[in-house]
Amino acid sequence: MKHNFGVKWNQCPHCDYKAKLNSALTQHKANAHNIGVKWKQCPHCEHKAKQTSTLNSHIKCHHT
């Protein structure tokens, strides 16, 4: 039985995090290290948010 042998772990270069899936590592890097984040730009000011929901609450707080 060779369960999980030969799994190529994707090691985060910035911490000890390992992920089986490269996509999970990409997501981790965005969350933990702000790498490869597609920032959502506020249309009303210079504010940037990682997530649309965060941007929406920013707009509600500051621009309504």
Asked whether the beta carbons of 17 and 28 are under 8 A apart, the reply is: yes
Question: Binding to Zn ion by residue 15, rule CB under 5 A?
Answer: yes
DSSP 3-state of 28: helix
Shortest spacing between CB 12 and Zn ion, in angstroms: 3
Rounded CA separation 18/21 (Å) = 9
Question: Binding to Zn ion by residue 50, rule CB under 5 A?
Answer: no
Asked whether the beta carbons of 22 and 2 are under 8 A apart, the reply is: no
Question: Binding to Zn ion by residue 45, rule CB under 5 A?
Answer: yes
Question: Binding to Zn ion by residue 37, rule CB under 5 A?
Answer: no
Q: Which residues bind Zn ion (CB under 5 A)?
A: 12, 14-15, 17, 32, 42, 44-45, 47
